[in-house]
Amino acid sequence: MCGFTGFTYCSGDRREVLSEMLDKIKHRGPDAEGTYIDEKIALGHRRLSIIDVSESGNQPLYSDDGKLVLVFNGEIYNYKDIRRELMDKGYKFRTSTDSEVLIYGYREYGEGLLNKLRGMFSFVIWDNDSETLFGARDFFGIKPFYYAQMGKTFMFGSEIKSFLSHPDFVKELNTEALENYLTFQYSPCAETFFKGVYKLPPAHYFTYKNGIMNINRYWEINFGADEKPGLDEWVDSISSTFHDSVKAHKVSDVEVGSFLSSGVDSSYVAAIADVDKTFTVGFGSNERYNEIGWAKEFSGAIGIKNYSKVIEPTEYWEKLPLIQYHMDEPLADPSAVALYFVCNLASQTLKVCLSGEGADEIFGGYNVYSEPGATVYDRLPMGFKKCVASAVSKLPAKRGLNFFVRKGRTLEERFIGNAYMFTPKERRELLKIKTSAPEPSVITKPFYDKVKGKDDVTRMQYLDLHMWMTGDILLKADKMSMANSLEVRVPFLDKKVMALAEKIPTRYRVIHKGTAEGMSYTTKYAMRLAAKKDTPPQTAKTANKKKLGFPVPIRVWLKEDGYYNKVKNAFTSEAAQQFFHTEKLVQLLDDHRAGRGDMSRKIWTVYMFLVWYDVYFQTSVK
């Protein structure tokens, strides 16, 4: 795992500027630094040595004739197969790294190389002959890639913070991103919080030549149910495919460990990975916020040593500015901080950890996926449900009425992903500034359009795979692990696993059952059965346990004097007054403290932006 940065033009000393940019991402690769500079381009790389840990694996890497130059972040798990294929074609390799297959694979296949890869990656290749820059980002967006055109220079890299050291970079807040963020809790669009800085979408490649950038998609998720196999066959297929993926994701010349919570995803990974160490964090002694007991019990059952840490509230809050610094853009997911601590814990003894991200999006695991078709009311005409929703919305707030409001809206109107913080109306009332930010439905429409005619569960999964997972789940996994010089690998997010999962009928992803007490449901049903099959009997209960995922007690903390006052000071600060009607922010805080509703996630969304803004725009990060 590594990090890279680069640019095509610089009004200052190119070598000095590149060195400063690399210093900003040293955490991504503390083991080695390398640069390539000519009159057309400057490339810099920081290395975390995992495969071929010798100096021969340092980057940039060059083709045998020196005409192709590569900087790469990620892992190619099938590199040995591609290497053999290229050697049969006459290519000669100088290293044992996975990186070198990208150079000769690109020379042989061009962009066709990308669909041969199995792994997580972002990289660029500079072609000296054609003076063309070629770059790509992996299928799911596991590894980040940012770029910006600032005046004469094109800059690119693994983290935005490296751009700030470039003398031609113009640091300006993108207020549209702020308004969108208030709804999604992450930055959902291609343009980031820094005006003019963009994210390359997952499964896309680009070419940059003569100041012109062309971006193209090279891979797509295609849900299409195969109704022929029965449930048992799907369970067996999931088991064999996932075993193969975990085996591939363990390719390494250094020790590999595994994160472990009390949920089925990480338990499934840990149970079949044959690692020696698992890592868990929690808060206090309440099982609602602490999964350490579950994790230790599970680790003991599979014969693995568990390392754990109880996070104290004071250290959690103290790390918030550092967390937002490493994120590059504000992220309001409270579990990101817990993830930082578990990565820090793991990094003290190894360099690589497996994790369970992606299982919910691929196999249909989120509780919200159980909503479609869960009640008889769902089968009533939408026109009738809209009328009921309109009438109910005018009544005083009362428990249970929101059900009718939600059911009176189409999926496209009500579902934008696993987080929906402020509605467009709420965010406009909260913001003092005016922006031209689009409605949430405008942002999600291109993804819904791709799955027209599919069932609601499939459409929700497709949207989450392209937005929530990339913008929140994978962002925090990459940034929090790299902040601790740790590589996190996600075996659920594998091309072969996805190819299988997209064929599983919806009835085997989310199942509804009638009981004497009413309807019940199970999400990622087939995957849970596979996990039960592959894990020890005494620990199979994790397959039925409700997902927690590093839960954080912010709703409790925000009612305590110390943290209430800390957030209130931020809500009434000069920075807050620039963007918000601060009296409305304080009202949210007071309502939460008084028990008039759980406002904690909305409060946290605003507070994380203010913490991030202070780091990047008020403390002169350069």
Kindly report, residue by residue over 425-437, the tens digit of the pLDDT.
999 999 999 999 9
CATH of the domain at 290: 3.40.50.620
The answer to whether residues 526 and 567 belong to one domain is no
Q: Count other C-beta atoms under 10 Å from residue 138's C-beta.
A: 28
pLDDT for 1? 58
Assigned domain for 351 exists: yes
Do 283 and 339 sit in the same domain of this protein? yes
Q: Which amino acid would we find at residue 190?
A: A
Question: Has residue 51 got a pLDDT over 60?
Answer: no
Any residues with CB less than 8 A from the CB of 42 and at least 6 apart, and which?
Answer: 6, 7, 8, 10, 14, 15, 17, 18, 35, 36
Identify whether residues 483 and 567 lie together within a single domain. Answer: no
Residue whose pair of structure tokens reads 């690692």 in the numeric block: 275
30 inside domain = yes
Structural domain includes residue 260: yes
Task: Please compute the mean of the pLDDT values over residues 238-265 and round it to a whole number.
Answer: 91
Say whether both 340 and 480 belong to one domain.
yes
Alpha carbon distance 477, 107 (integer Å)? 32
Residue 22 confidence (pLDDT): 96
Residue 238, pLDDT above cutoff 50:
yes
Q: Are 281 and 308 in contact (CB under 8 A)?
A: yes
Is residue 372 assigned to a domain? no
The winner for highest mean pLDDT among 290-294, 337-341, 512-516 is 337-341
Residue 383 has pLDDT above 90, yes or no: no
139 plus 7 within the same structural domain: yes
Asked, as a colleague might, if the bond just before 321 is cis with ω within 30 of 0, I would say no
The answer, yes or no, to whether residue 34 has pLDDT greater than 80, is yes
Q: SS3 breakdown of the chain: % helix, strand, coil, rounded to 5?
A: 45, 15, 35
Active site residues: 2
Total residues found in the chain within this entry: 622
379 within a domain of the structure (yes/no) = no
Same domain, 130 and 42: yes
As a whole-number percent, the residues of the chain with pLDDT over 70 amount to 93
Determine the structural domain holding residue 509 and report its residue range: 231-365+465-544
Q: How many domains does the chain have?
A: 3
Nearest to 73 by CA among 155, 145, 126, 146: 145
Point out the domain boundary residue: 217, 244, 270.
217
Average pLDDT, rounded, for the chain: 91
75 & 162 share domain: yes
Assigned token pair, 387: 């009328």
For residue 225, CA distances in Å to 129, 174, 368, 465 come to 46, 41, 21, 17
Reported as a single tens digit per residue, the pLDDT across 488-497 is 999 999 999 9
Residue with tokens 């994120």: 327
Segment 370-394 shows an average pLDDT of 78
pLDDT bucket at 55, cuts 50 / 70 / 90: low
Q: What is the pLDDT of residue 501?
A: 98
The pLDDT of 44-49, averaged and rounded, is 83
Question: Residues 279, 352: one domain?
Answer: yes
Contact 509, 503 (CB under 8 A): no
Rounded to whole angstroms, the Cα distance separating 519 from 526 reads 19
- In the structure encoding, which two tokens stand for residue 543, read together? 């397959």
Rounded to an integer, what distance in angstroms lies between the CA atom of residue 136 and that of residue 475?
17
Lowest mean pLDDT among 272-286, 506-520, 592-606: 506-520
142 and 274 co-located in one domain:
no
DSSP 414: H
Of 544, 567, 593, the last residue of a domain is 544
- pLDDT, one tens digit per residue, over 99-149 is 999 999 999 999 999 999 999 999 999 999 999 999 999 999 999 999 999
Tell me the pTM. 0.94
pLDDT grade for 549, boundaries at 50, 70 and 90: very low
Same domain, 252 and 313: yes
Whether residue 410 is contained in a domain is answered as no
In this prediction, residues 59-85 reach a mean pLDDT of 95
Whether 202 and 71 share a structural domain: yes
Query: What per-residue confidence (pLDDT) applies to 546?
Result: 54
More confident residue, 182 or 59: 182
Query: How far does the chain reach from its first CA to its final CA, in angstroms?
Result: 24
Last residue of a domain, one of 156, 189, 217: 217
Average pLDDT over residues 352-371: 95
Q: Are residues 205 and 100 in the same domain?
A: yes
- The structure tokens listed for 495 are 């091309």
- Judge whether 37 lies within some domain: yes
Give the type of residue at 201.
P
Q: Is residue 89 part of a domain?
A: yes
Contact 75, 487 (CB under 8 A): yes
* pLDDT of the residue at 581: 97
CA quadruple 426, 428, 430, 434: dihedral, nearest 10: 170
Q: How many CA atoms lie within 13 A of 188 on its CB side?
A: 30
